[in-house]
Structure 1
Amino acid sequence: MRLRNIPGAKDAIASSKYVVQEPEKQKGTWNKVFGNQNPVHIEVGMGKGRFIMDMAEKHPEINYVGIEMYDSVLLRALQKMEERELAGTLPENLVFLRMDARTLPLVFEKGEVGKIYLNFSDPWPKERHAKRRLTSRQFLERYNQILAADGVVEFKTDNKGLFEFSLEEVEEAGWKLLGHTFDLHQDNEMNEGNVMTEYEEKFSSMGNPIYKLIAGR
């Protein structure tokens, strides 16, 4: 269960140098935020940030934007960044946004994002909430508005129902399924270069299979 109310979280986020405030003002100019022309990859619903921090450290040639809508969860990520800074391992190619993913097209210009990562997203199990799922056709349309022509969405989950729903939505949205697996850690091709999230490590250690798909237009 995600904690949503930690005293001082909003103030910490508002004053953090790791968080871009008023990100809609950066639309079309994210290269200036990072000071280079490297590709921009984003993670929507980054949680405590371990995955995207590890990715940024592993791939300094790519700029990363971590997006989280819950203050208390983003605060944990900020604390981890502070720990990395003290340890001298702070990734310079990573910033965070506190925002609702429904407004992505207001923050990124068409073609400005090269890849979108979705990791262990909230399944929103009730059918009436289907459009809130980050792999719904409604969200795929939002991603379509910001992805580069050859951009892709990579999605990982341990929830089989959500995964099967996602496979159907990719097809219904007119996207192309570029790859998928029902057991990531036993699929050598799909698992090559895989960077695990905290949830992934936890669920896989319990023997749960991890599902992954890659989709493009």
Structure 2
Amino acid sequence: MGKHRQPNQSQKRDKSGFIRIISGLWKGRKLPVHDAEGLRPTTDRVKETLFNWLATDIPQARCLDLFAGSGSLGFEAASRQAEQVTMIEKNPAAFQQLKKNQDSLSAAQLKIIQSDALVYLAQTPSEKPYDIVFIDPPFRQGLLEETLRLLEHNQWLHEQAMIYIESEKEWPVTAIPASWQLYREKVAGQVCYRLYQKAP
């Protein structure tokens, strides 16, 4: 009765080999994604919500995309007229794919750095502070606490910066610096995403 039918290869294969830019200069463009373990591109639905929250903040903003991975958030910000987007990605193959995608878009406002995000944040910033920071690390590896501490402690943030955090639903928010105020919060399945604003 068809019980033992094998799924064909195309059904089994993961279809998330691309990210799609939702709006802006490169609206509708699809960019290939390196398939690395732990790489979880932000879903279109979450991304659309986030960029609705940030709609008036993105143009002319300086953005930092930590744990950039597929670059889904950084490319979207650049497409929507961010002045500069710095992406930090440790995985060599994912970094190479980000560079290829940057070339295909001729995106001069992107700066892509191959580095561990925590090592990068541990240094003293050599440029102006950032207006918007995207933090979407691999889940359940204890990376968020130190990331937030270094961002605040080493003065990477503009005095009214917006900080986006995507985490597993059960992550305790006790590590949030005292001067950050929750601006928006939503849950999608096992993921919680929050936007904070640093109070001046």
Q: TM-score, normalised by structure 1?
A: 0.55
Q: State the superposition RMSD in angstroms.
A: 2.7
Indicate if the aligned counterparts of 1:48 and 1:73 stay in contact, CA closer than 8 A: yes
Deviation at 1:176, TM superposition (A): 2.7
Alignment map for 1:169-184 (pairs within 5 Å): 169-170=175-176, 173-183=177-187
Q: How many residues align?
A: 140
8 Å Cα contact 2:102/2:110 also seen in 1: no
Give the structure, 1 or 2, with the largest relative contact order (CA under 8 Å, sep 6 or more): 1
Matches within 5 A, 1:168-207: 168-170=174-176, 173-183=177-187
The Cα of 1:42 is off from its aligned counterpart by: 0.4
**CA distance 1:47–1:67, shift in 2 (3 Å):** same
More strand per residue: 2
Distance 1:66-1:107 versus aligned 2 partners, 3 A rule: farther
Look up the match of 1:59. 81
Match of 2:48 in 1: none
Q: How far 1:77 moved relative to its partner? A: 1.2
Cα distance per residue 1:7-43 (max 9 Å; x no partner): xxxxxxxxxxxxxxxxxxxxxxxxxxxxxxx542100
2:68 aligned counterpart, secondary structure: coil
Mapped to 2, the partners of 1:152 and 1:102 lie a distance apart of 19
Residue aligned with 2:123, SS: helix
Matched, 1:78 2:103: no
Where does the alignment leave 5 or more consecutive residues of structure 2 unmatched? 1-34, 39-59
Tell me the residue number matched to 2:157. Answer: 147
Give the structure with the higher percent helix. 1
Which AA in structure 1 matches 2:94?
A: V
CA distance in 2, matches of 1:110, 1:76: 25
The 8 Å contact of residues 110 and 148 in structure 1, kept in 2 or not, is answered as no
Q: Percent identity?
A: 10
CA separation in 2, counterparts of 1:105 and 1:161? 27
1:49 aligns with 2:71: yes
